[in-house]
Amino acid sequence: MSGVDPDTTPDSGEPGTLGRGCQSADRDPPLRWRRAPERPAASPGHVHVWQIDLDSDAQPTDNLEALLCDEERARAARFVHAHHRRRFAVRRAALRTILGRYLNTEPGALRFVVGPHGKPALAGAASSSGIRFNVSHSDRLALIAVAHSREVGIDIERIRPDVHLHDIARRFLGPAAAQALLALPPKDQPPAFMRCWCSKEACVKALGVGLAAGQDVLEAAMLPDSLLAALRAPGWTVESDRWSVSALEIDTGFVAVLAVEGRDYTLAAFRYQTPGVPEGD
């Protein structure tokens, strides 16, 4: 990435190092999550990440679901636990509201299509806007990445100490990353595993492929380098001519990774506020 928005850069960090022909960018200053502009603009040189607290929206679920299409309402109704339905409605309503701001379109008017591995994209008239987006959620937080004319993938996970990380790492992260993970002190393994998992998820989501994608596909998106970087430190960026993969600073207890097609962009991060609700700070 070229940098983070200069209005949001309180500190500077240390540069990182990587092997395998992959460049490690000078570590960018930490992101500051700031209030969103009323009418955000998408452009090829910028990538925006929005953070949504799924439990803070005070709107009744019925009001949120009024923004959704029939299929989304049906999906919401299927969840067996009420809080999953609620969080789904908040997330989808926020996605529509945010994309509607970029497109100057009513949230309920947006239509989506889904790729073969579940990656959503804008459909209809908005499909020619150049806007690409990706969504991830874990527990009470959701992230939405918005870009223009480039693919993005994002993943967030709440750090859980009880995950069977050894088994999952061996099967999903590959032998090198799994071995390196297991060599870490036990207390460092859960957050390192979560950073690796987020890296893989962000990469496969940017590519629009499934978790079982072939190693050649993943290597093209620098996944092995990203995994090794993720094992080493909470904050990192790896770049090639085709992809940039970066850790995002986020609330304690969560990890998040952003994968972006290309490397020349500026990143800005916003906290989503429910329309009509005054912002607390």
Structure tokens at 64: 């949120």
What are the angstrom distances between the C-alpha of 140 and each of 2, 174, 239?
30, 29, 30
Closest approach of Cβ 213 to another protein, in Å? 9
CB nearer to another protein: give 201 or 261: 201
What contacts 38, CB < 8 A, 6 or more positions away?
Answer: 101
Nearer to another protein by Cβ, of 48 and 87: the residue is: 87
Residue closer to another protein, measured from CB, 78 or 187: 78
Smallest distance, another protein to C-beta of residue 74, A? 10
Q: What is the DSSP string of 225-246?
A: HHHHHHHH-SS-EEE-SSEEEE
Q: At residue 180, what are phi and psi to the nearest 5 degrees?
A: -65, -40
Amino acid residing at 22:
C
- Distance in Å, CB of 168 to another protein, minimum: 5
Min CB(95)–another protein separation in Å: 16
Residue reference for tokens 């240390």: 14
By C-beta, is 58 or 80 nearer to another protein? Answer: 80
Spatial contact of 246 and 233, defined as CB atoms under 8 Å apart? no
- Tokens in use for 18? 């990587």
Smallest separation (angstroms) from another protein to the CB of 211: 6
Q: 141 has which bridge partners?
A: 53, 138
Beta carbon nearer to another protein, 51 or 138 = 138
3-state secondary structure of 63: helix
Residue 85 Cβ, how far from another protein at the closest point, in Å?
9
Query: CA of 249: how far to CAs of 51, 191, 216, 265, 268, in Å?
Result: 11, 13, 29, 18, 12
Nearer to another protein, 171 or 242 (CB): 171
For another protein, the binding residues (CB under 8 A) are: 75, 78-81, 84, 88, 137-138, 157, 163-164, 167-168, 171-172, 197, 201, 210-212
